[in-house]
Structure 1
């Protein structure tokens, strides 16, 4: 299954595979000096033997004798001489409800919720799904009333451990309910169904609460509690009410899609939602008002055989990227959310395997996929942060930073994250030309009338060679890039129209007016000694030069004798050669003027000297991160620049780098909010007068910011 799902992917012909021995040599060379490839886990999540349940220890859910009440509940039963009725649920619930009507007390509600949940777990284990569903529903209602019913004389005590257990009972009982309901048919928003048990008919409506996803996006849901995360360093799980779920997106071919963003979503995309159940209080009370005049009547078992009753409930599926709280009977309640498990679940699919993507992009660039990809719903009102990987890598390399940044509510509120995949085996300037084309196509697809100001505030974050690809989106070529090829006018060039157009797009370009900031991390602005005679020889042996490029070179040489300079980069056919310190485009890029609206931030890695690998790396590439020297990584024109204690492979995943990117993103929002013209977003064409700067609010400084002159020392 291909990762690329839309028109930005390319169909490619097969090419011969390079010799195995040479492949091993290149791999060893790259790994020895700490190449750009990720060390991401090949197994991001695994299924748990039993679902995670916060009540496991408190209620003895996995004990041999089965679940049992807490001591606090047993104490309440002893006080009312009800302990001997534990084996008769119907009589026990009837007496406890009667006691609660005479002496309203939240302790009684908690005991009812806990006992109903224990009964549901026992019935579930015995495959009595109707009884389990009835009892799970009772537990949801009792715990909800414990938490929010303000008719009791004393309010809920949030400092009481019982309060948190009541939250866990609501969540766990709701999850048990959803598991049974889902076994009878997939849960999809926009649908309604009748759930039948012995005592009730429940009219359940499923509603989606999301500003980005649509009802048609849902294929199925899975439960976060079934999975254990391995591949991410940090796991972001926020506590509250509700059941965190993994929604599996229904993929459509672009030709069948009505949403223009469809082409940018990979197949089998997973995303986070939280299920929250609301039960109509009136229908609960009317179900048997004479027996129990509270919401608990809905599932209370009366002494006589009850008449079948009808309840109305709404299951809300909340997108945690949009909302982290819900209103529950006038109270603002946090949702239980999990952003990390759905992300890890998504990364576990074979199409996103890091080794496959990165190696294909390096060795067979003609066959490799390329394009922009989104793991979140497209939002026209959020600023895009586009992450660009480096050599022998893929978008998967950004998942640690993505996971950490997205955990910040202020980041989620203002930004959306996109990822650019490109064949890292080709010269970086060719990848930059393709990225310019892909960004232009994206804008035409998503905002053809250019009515979304947020898309004109784009931020690029590039690691290693991805920093060069990103920087080439922000500078003005003038004639300087062409002069690395020839000192003759472009108009004198003899070539087919397609080849002329490709050359023009690669060597003549303007800065993208929609890009406002760029962050380069471990980028070889002056090349890398890693690109030495040995690695360049291996690269030429292993990296398959695209047929189109070879044909173009042959035609240009034959039809334009003595037109190109001897040092012309036309002869550079792979990325390793293009990163050499002798590469003719690097000094031109270093001096090229950026758009006056662009701010550049730079992060440099400095690996420790300990260890054989680091010593070899620094011997090859000089003092720095093991691949890029401090001198090459330094950028005198950067608005901010820091040095991070990390090697090249990990510098973009280092906590200090992630905190710096977070600082830059928050500062960007603060500057936009304090910009003149009443805080309105300004387009790139509305540049400030020369020499003037918008007011910058007082913000925490960058972590370990160094003066640019000191960064390379």
Structure 2
């Protein structure tokens, strides 16, 4: 009986320690880029999943969709061996599926299944294309992304919408995947069309450049990338300005993640623009005022001083 009482007391102590520990537990901070195709990327399309999609489509003739799947599979093969031709194959898959989405006729049988299959394949192909285009240095500053198709090299232009930034600022980005940070208690995400990105803008040091004045050496900001209906341009939209877009004749919500750029800065940069905000007592530098965006004449700066 005494042994039982000791065991019960030990169990109570263990439960108390566990509860106290859980109450004080802070989650580990991490950042995993999207479009990587690993177990941590839930959008990865397996062969089994695609077979299930094909079964739902039945005998519907979808040559463009089948060609897109073949290009996607070829892109994965190239990606595994580090061949930058994966960029071209993922672009081909994204362009083919974008055409299917834009031209689908909902009056025919299996239209909804075809639409969902094309959307799924298009989204992941575009995510992988954007990630690898950056990794393989295919991005031409302020111009577009270099793609090689049938031995011909083309430049897919980048078109920006509603940003205060210049086209040359869109040369470095990360595809948003899974992340968490102990300093963030909530996130602000919206599902929709497009691929959420964290754009990383390194400061230019050109003299008398007003776009560089009063800014940190590195600034991150959110963007959402879409492939145009004809597949001939990559459109970057500002999710802070747009929540819905008219695509293929329908008003659709824009995918966005307004917390990802903060999490990225906190994860990879100790001199984050928010470090002094989260831990003011640990800042070793003098206080300064910085712009988070380029100067815009129609906006009035407001400075709040705590005293």
Structure 2 length-normalised TM: 0.71
The structure 2 residue matched to 1:230, chosen from 181, 190, 196, is 181
Cα distance in 2 between the residues matched to 1:114 and 1:278: 19
**Structure-2 residue corresponding to 1:139:** 93
Q: Map 1:190-201; keep pairs closer than 5 Å.
A: 190-192=142-144, 194-198=146-150, 200-201=152-153
**Structure-2 residue corresponding to 1:274:** 224
Number of equivalenced pairs = 276
Q: Map 1:122-133; keep pairs closer than 5 Å.
A: 122-130=77-85, 132-133=86-87
Q: Map 1:141-160; keep pairs closer than 5 Å.
A: 141-149=95-103, 153-154=107-108, 160=112
5+ residue gaps, structure 2, are 1-23
Q: Is the 8 A contact 2:176 2:198 kept in 1?
A: yes
**Structure-2 residue corresponding to 1:203:** 155
Residue 273 of structure 1 deviates from its aligned partner by 1.4
**Structure-2 residue corresponding to 1:477:** none
Cα distance in 1 between the residues matched to 2:277 and 2:155: 48
Q: Is the 8 A contact 1:186 1:220 kept in 2?
A: no
Cα distance in 2 between the residues matched to 1:207 and 1:245: 15
Cα distance in 2 between the residues matched to 1:146 and 1:221: 27
Q: Is the 8 A contact 2:246 2:252 kept in 1?
A: yes
**Structure-2 residue corresponding to 1:351:** 271
**Structure-2 residue corresponding to 1:89:** none
Counterpart check, 1:371 vs 2:293: no
Counterpart check, 1:176 vs 2:157: no
The DSSP-based 3-state class of the residue aligned with 1:141 is: helix
Cα distance in 2 between the residues matched to 1:335 and 1:356: 30
**Structure-2 residue corresponding to 1:335:** 254
The structure 1 residue matched to 2:233, chosen from 308, 314, 318, is 314
Quickly say closer, same or farther: Cα 1:343–1:223, change in 2 above 3 A: same
Cα distance in 2 between the residues matched to 1:175 and 1:380: 35
Cα distance in 2 between the residues matched to 1:43 and 1:230: 7
The structure 1 residue matched to 2:76, chosen from 96, 99, 121, is 121
Q: Deviations over 1:266-304 (max 9, x none)?
A: 2221111122222647xxxxxxxxxxxxxxxxxxxxxxx
Q: Map 1:260-271; keep pairs closer than 5 Å.
A: 262-263=213-214, 265-271=215-221
Cα distance in 2 between the residues matched to 1:380 and 1:340: 26
**Structure-2 residue corresponding to 1:46:** 31
Quickly say closer, same or farther: Cα 1:166–1:246, change in 2 above 3 A: same
**Structure-1 residue corresponding to 2:298:** 381
> Which of the two has higher C-alpha Rg?
1
Q: Is the 8 A contact 1:188 1:218 kept in 2?
A: no
**Structure-1 residue corresponding to 2:207:** 256
Quickly say closer, same or farther: Cα 1:371–1:194, change in 2 above 3 A: closer
**Structure-2 residue corresponding to 1:562:** none
Q: Map 1:546-585; keep pairs closer than 5 Å.
A: none
**Structure-2 residue corresponding to 1:72:** 53
Quickly say closer, same or farther: Cα 1:203–1:266, change in 2 above 3 A: closer
Tell me which stretches of 4 or more aligned residues in structure 1 moved more than 6 Å.
Answer: none
Give the root-mean-square deviation of aligned CA atoms: 3.8
Residue 117 of structure 1 deviates from its aligned partner by 2.6
Q: Is the 8 A contact 2:99 2:230 kept in 1?
A: no
